């Protein structure tokens, strides 16, 4: 976990309380450095401890769908693709393997032509810091799933558009 010597700020994308640092950020996701660092802490745990891996799909989809205010073509595509993954997971109950296949198909079919969605407010959703606080792999998975569900529900005004896009790829 990050050193507590930094003051805390609120991520404008997901409302997480994050360290106010100036460091590496993602090339097109609009996450401040402190939020990006928290996300990478969670990813490190998922990649280094096999019992945490089962939450990885949910972690990435939730994070990318919350960091959704940019206009960069890659960022617009990322939001749509990760929301389709959440739809396929929660509404269609697809396996991670099938979700990955559908995501690849969607990218191939719609490359450079993804609609910019109307971003919701993430006031009552969980965020990356909730998952980071997990004390065990089971708690990590439960928090990641609850986080991803809360993000999916926050996008409820776009569910019909996401379902239509998913139907073109699966």
Annotated domain spans of the chain: 8-112+121-169
- Alpha-carbon distance 34 to 24, whole Å? 9
Do 29 and 12 touch, CB atoms closer than 8 A? no
Q: What value, to the nearest 5°, has the Cα angle with vertex 64 and ends 59 and 69? A: 150
User: How many C-beta atoms lie closer than 10 Å to residue 110's C-beta?
Assistant: 16
Q: What is the mean pLDDT of the chain?
A: 93
**Mean pLDDT across 141-170:** 97
Q: Is 128 left (phi over 0), alpha (psi -120 to 50) or beta?
A: alpha
Instruction: State the DSSP code for 169.
Output: H
**Mean pLDDT across 2-28:** 86
| Cα–Cα distances in angstroms (integers) from residue 111 to residues 70, 98, 108, 115, in the given order | 17, 19, 6, 11
Widest pairwise Cα distance in the chain: 49
Question: Which is more confident, 99 or 69?
Answer: 99
pLDDT of residue 27: 83
**Mean pLDDT across 70-76:** 89
pLDDT of residue 117: 95
pLDDT of residue 4: 58
At 164, is the pLDDT very low, low, confident or very high (cuts 50, 70, 90)?
very high
Alpha helices in the chain (DSSP H): 33-48, 56-66, 73-90, 96-110, 128-132, 137-154, 159-169
At 18, is the pLDDT very low, low, confident or very high (cuts 50, 70, 90)?
very high
- Alpha-carbon distance 17 to 167, whole Å? 36
pTM confidence score: 0.93
Q: How many CA atoms lie within 13 A of 37 on its CB side?
A: 16
**Mean pLDDT across 35-52:** 97
């Amino acid at each position: 976990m990050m050193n507590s010597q930094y003051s805390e700020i609120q991520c404008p994308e997901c409302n997480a309380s994050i360290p106010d640092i100036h460091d590496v950020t993602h090339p097109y996701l609009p996450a401040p450095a402190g939020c990006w660092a928290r996300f990478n802490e969670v990813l490190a745990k998922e990649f280094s401890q096999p019992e945490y891996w089962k939450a990885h799909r949910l972690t990435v989809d939730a994070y990318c769908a919350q960091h959704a205010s940019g206009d960069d073509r890659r960022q617009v595509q990322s939001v749509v693709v990760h929301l389709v993954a959440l739809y396929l997971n929660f509404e269609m109950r697809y396996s991670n393997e099938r979700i990955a296949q559908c995501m690849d198909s969607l990218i191939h079919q719609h490359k450079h032509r993804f609609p910019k969605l109307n971003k919701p407010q993430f006031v009552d959703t969980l965020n990356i810091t909730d998952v980071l606080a997990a004390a065990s792999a089971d708690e990590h998975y439960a928090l990641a799933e609850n986080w991803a569900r809360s993000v999916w529900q926050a996008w409820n005004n776009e569910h019909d558009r996401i379902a239509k896009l998913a139907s073109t790829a699966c």
